[in-house]
C-alpha cells in the first residue's frame, strides 16, 4: 500500500509544484493519476520512487516511513518516469538482459516478459527501429524485471496511436490481474485513463 501524506514540493524556494497532496492507494489497485500538464504528477511520482525529496509531508510504503524502510520497499517498485530508459542500439532482449545484470537477477524471466509485452517476435530488431508503442511496451517490460509489487507509470500512453493505447491499456490490466501489483498510472487524457483504472 502506498500513502502520500500531506506532501508538498517547492522548487527554487517559491514555486509550489505539489501542494499538500494526500492519496491512499490500496494494495492491488490500479489507480489513475489525472491532471493537466504541469499539475505535478511526475514530481509526485519522483517523490514516491525516491528520485526527489518532498519539501514537507511523507511517503509511506507498506507502513515504512524512514529512509531505511523506504529504501527496502523501493526495491520492489518498477517504474517508467519521463519515458522508459532504453538503450536504442540494443534489441529488446539485450535491454532486458542488461537490466537483469544490474539487478542481479536471473535471465529466466526474460522470455516471459517478452511474451507478456508482445515482443517475442522482434528478437533481431534494435530498439531504435521500434514504434513508440513497442518502446513503451518494452519500457513496461523493463519495469517488471525486479518483479515489482508497485508499478509506477508516468504517462505511458502519451503520444501513442489508438492501437498503441489499446495495447498498453490491455497490458496494464493484464499485469494487474496476473501479478497482483499495485499500479499508479498518470495521464492528462481522462477518457483513456478511466478505461484502465479501478480508481
Ligand atoms: P506533470 O507531470 O503533471 O506534467 P510536473 O510534475 O512535471 O507536472 O511539473 C509540475 C511543475 O513543476 C511544472 O510547472 C514544472 O515546470 C515544475 N518543475 C518540475 N520539475 C522542476 C524542477 N526540477 N525545477 C523547477 N521546477 C520544476
Question: Rounded to the nearest 10 degrees, how much is the dihedral formed by the CA atoms of 197, 80, 61, 173?
Answer: 30
Confidence (pTM): 0.92
| pLDDT of res. 10 | 97
Which residue has its alpha carbon closest to ligand 1 atom 12? 17
Give the model's pLDDT for residue 139: 94
Q: How far is CA 6 from CA 2, 16, 18, 156, in A?
A: 13, 13, 10, 26
Residue partners of 92: CB distance under 8 A and separation at least 6: 114, 119, 122, 123, 125, 127, 130, 138, 141
pLDDT at 18 over 90: yes
Ligand 1 centroid to 38 CA: how many Å?
6
Q: How would residue 123 be classed by pLDDT, with cut points 50, 70 and 90?
A: confident
Instruction: Determine the Cα–Cα distance for residues 40 and 34; give it in Å rounded to an integer.
Output: 10
Cα(57) to centroid(ligand 1), Å: 18
Cell of 28: 492491488
Average per-residue pLDDT for the chain: 93
C-alpha cell at 173: 490490466
CB of 41 closer than 6 A to ligand 1? yes
Return the closest-CA partner of residue 151 out of 178, 123, 112: 178
Ligand 1 centroid distance, CA of 118 (Å): 33
Q: Average pLDDT in the 147-156 region? A: 93
Q: What is the pLDDT of residues 156-199, one digit of tens each?
A: 998 888 888 998 899 999 999 998 899 999 998 888 888 899 99
Which pLDDT tens digit goes with each residue over 74-121?
999 999 998 888 999 999 999 999 999 999 999 999 999 999 999 998
Helix, strand, or coil (residue 180): coil
Amino acid at each position: 500500500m502506498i500513502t502520500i501524506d500531506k506532501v508538498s514540493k517547492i522548487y527554487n524556494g517559491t514555486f509550489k509544484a505539489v501542494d499538500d497532496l494526500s492519496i491512499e492507494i490500496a494494495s492491488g489497485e490500479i489507480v489513475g493519476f489525472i491532471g493537466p500538464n504541469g499539475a505535478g504528477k511526475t514530481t509526485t511520482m519522483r517523490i514516491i520512487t525516491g528520485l526527489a525529496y518532498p519539501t514537507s509531508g511523507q511517503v509511506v510504503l507498506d507502513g515504512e516511513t524512514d529512509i531505511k524502510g523506504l529504501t527496502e520497499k523501493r526495491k520492489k517498485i518498477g517504474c517508467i518516469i519521463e519515458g522508459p530508459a532504453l538503450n536504442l542500439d540494443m534489441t529488446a532482449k539485450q535491454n532486458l538482459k542488461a537490466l537483469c545484470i544490474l539487478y542481479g537477477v536471473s535471465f529466466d524471466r526474460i522470455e516471459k516478459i517478452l511474451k507478456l509485452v508482445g515482443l517475442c517476435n522482434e528478437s533481431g530488431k534494435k530498439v531504435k527501429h521500434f514504434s513508440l508503442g513497442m518502446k513503451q511496451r518494452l519500457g513496461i517490460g523493463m519495469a517488471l524485471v525486479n518483479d515489482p509489487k508497485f508499478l509506477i507509470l508516468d504517462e505511458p500512453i502519451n503520444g501513442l496511436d489508438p492501437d498503441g493505447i489499446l495495447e498498453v491499456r490491455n497490458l496494464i490490466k493484464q499485469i494487474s490481474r496476473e501479478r497482483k501489483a499495485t499500479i499508479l498510472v498518470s495521464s492528462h487524457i481522462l477518457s483513456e485513463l478511466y478505461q484502465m483504472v479501478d480508481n
